[in-house]
Amino acid sequence: MKALLLIAHGSRRQRSNDEVIALAEKLKTECAEHYDIVQAAFLELADTLIADGIENCVRDGARQITVLPYFLNSGRHVTEDIPHDVDAVRPNFPDVEIQIAQHIGASTAMIDMLKATAVNAV
């Protein structure tokens, strides 16, 4: 089974975290052909944290997990913190393949999305 774990920063404002959880729910529907499990997790400040999110996926049967950072910039969180948290739990699940996808800000479609928003606003 394949799992997708959407990782956001996490906020003290629960409404922000709920937006991410709702996004993961939508993504679950959209990616049903490709992923059996789609869940949200957070780097800090909110439940579920990355390690717990990975553990939940494995417990639900995942043997391939794709971690997708919902971050705009390739800052420390993307380049260091998320890989660190993922690497910390890898030894616990030697039979599970865990990979980190590119952060969403690196998507080539970002410029099109910004353009659409900018043009609609004129």
Residue 89: other Cβ atoms inside 10 A: 17
Residue in 20, 43, 57, 98 binding its own copies, rule: CB under 8 A: 20
**Planar angle of CA 28, 32, 33, nearest 5 degrees:** 155
Return the number of the residue (34 or 84) whose C-beta is nearest its own copies. Answer: 34
Residue whose token pair is 């920063």: 9
* End-to-end Cα distance, the chain: 46
**Cα 92 vs. chain centroid, distance in angstroms?**
20
Closest approach, Cβ 89 to its own copies, in A, equals 19
Q: Which of 37, 50, 58, 66 binds its own copies (CB under 8 A)?
A: 66
Residues that bind its own copies (CB under 8 A): 2, 4, 6, 8, 11, 13, 15-16, 19-20, 23, 26-27, 30-31, 34-35, 64, 66, 68, 70-76, 99, 101-102, 104-105, 107, 109-122
